[in-house]
Amino acid sequence: MTKFSELNLNPKVLKAIDEAGYETPTPIQAGAIPPALEGKDVLGIAQTGTGKTASFTLPLITMLARGRARARMPRSLVLCPTRELAAQVAENFDIYAKNVKLSKALLIGGVSFKEQDALIDKGVDVLIATPGRLLDHFERGKLILSDVKIMVVDEADRMLDMGFIPDIERIFGLTPFTRQTLFFSATMAPEIERVTNTFLSAPARVEVARQATASETIEQAAVMVKAARRDSEAKQKREVLRALIEAEGDACTNAIIFCNRKVDVDIVAKSLKKYGFDAAPIHGDLDQSQRMRTLDGFREGSLRFLVASDVAARGLDVPSVSHVFNFDVPSHAEDYVHRIGRTGRAGRSGKAFTICGSKDDKYFDAVEKLIQKEIPKIDNPIAKAEKPAKKDDAPEEAAKPSRSRSRSRKPQAEAVEAQAEAPKAPQPQVEDEKRDSNRGGRSRSRGKSGGGSDRGGVVGMGDHMPEFIALSFDERRAG
């Protein structure tokens, strides 16, 4: 088995790896580091949680160990789709480059331009940024990309999904043609093929797993929720979520709960808090400082449940996440792989539950088609709890006539219904009084027009029925 010591990395980098407790590289690291050290372009494809970040961080530090950056001219550039992923890459850089004198700068939203400009002006060896903030600095004249020797695009498929294609193409145009380019992604979309064919030169393709596969260490399950009313489905899904968490008990040490919409992230987090669960939301509309505090609390263990949008589906490296709950089935099947990849990392086991609503069937089918595997269905814990109540209603259901006998018993059923409604309608009693007494005024007219004879009234005629209709047969002949 390959060891890090066999990969021609800088001795100071190997020392940092050893101090971090690593000895054997993952398959993507063993496959991507050698061609990267040779100066080749690399296209790395591997499922999330396999160590892609170290696959480019380690050779990057080794190749930049010699040399010095000039003011506003970074020597390398790492592009990330989200702030959280960019911060994660920066943390990895600090771990592996602690014995090497290299400088870095992190350009992400939510941080003042002044602080970032101060770092860039000093000159940085590694610039880690999101595309939007990077272009903001460039347009302000604070950044020059003509000295970039190595460019890394991390989570390339996510970059494309988030609409960063124009920004990426523009950034590529601002960097030298002779640069070395490293692309890393969990899935290989057709758009990435086009981008790699355009901007990568004869890349070494390193693919260590079948495209869009989930780790075998993750136990997957799905709960199908079909509410009687659509407006009550979201509430029922929250009940199912709490029931699943309670059923897992102490085995659920911590968990990430993913929602498709930011508004649902807030609602689910508030609902969990209301029922005594330690939960906090994280999505793109929150302040960067609040997002970082929430992430830090989750990593440190002071926060048990993190309710997130897909902004946290990638780049969140917390090795000890025990569970992932998909409150919604993701609309993009690829996101399912990234979501559940937050658990079962580094060889650990994990569990992933998906709550599938009435509108999610097509998305769920797309997920199973993508991962080429049927996700086991489990009983709805809420419906299971309601079964005893349904048994009490069984005698009433048994007393109801079956469909096959409904025609023969229709008159009897109508008679029963009429008898049941009789107390609510005072009309018969009034008609009896009319027959027994000879009242004048409006009561007499009603008795005639309403059919006040012993034979009863004529249905449907109202107060305007002609008087001759109400006469008996003998009375008509006499007339």
d(CA 345, CA 343): 5
Chain centre to alpha carbon of residue 336: 8
Single-letter amino acid, residue 97: A
> Among the residues of 141-214, which ranges form H helices?
156-161, 165-174, 190-199
Query: Does the fold of domain 218-384 match that of domain 4-207?
Result: yes
CB 371 within 8 A of CB 214: yes
For residue 28, with 0-12 CB atoms within 10 Å meaning exposed, 13-18 middle and 19 or more buried, which class applies? buried
Q: Which residues contact 346 (CB under 8 A, 6 or more apart)?
A: 49, 319
Single-letter amino acid, residue 37: L
CB 54 within 8 A of CB 76: no
Residues in the chain, total: 479
pLDDT tens digit at each of 479 positions of the chain: 589 999 999 999 999 999 988 889 999 999 999 999 999 999 998 876 678 899 999 999 999 998 888 999 999 999 998 888 898 899 999 999 999 989 999 999 888 899 999 999 999 999 999 999 999 999 999 999 999 999 999 988 878 777 887 899 899 999 999 999 999 887 777 878 888 889 999 999 998 866 567 778 899 999 999 887 878 899 999 999 999 999 999 999 999 999 999 899 999 999 999 999 999 999 877 887 888 889 889 988 999 999 998 765 565 677 789 999 999 999 888 788 888 988 887 678 899 999 999 889 999 999 999 888 899 999 999 875 554 444 444 434 443 444 443 444 444 444 434 443 444 444 444 444 444 444 444 444 444 444 444 444 555 555 555 665 656 555 555 55
Single-letter amino acid, residue 308: A
Q: Which of 160, 183, 161, 163 is nearest to 46 (CA)?
A: 183
Domain ranges of the chain: 4-207, 218-384, 425-478
CATH topology of domain 218-384: Rossmann fold (3.40.50)
Q: In the numeric block, which tokens belong to residue 342?
A: 């937050």
CB 345 within 8 A of CB 321: yes
Q: Which of 97, 104, 156 is nearest to 314 (CA)?
A: 156
CATH architecture of the domain with residue range 4-207 = 3-Layer(aba) Sandwich (3.40)
Q: In the numeric block, which tokens belong to residue 372?
A: 């080429």
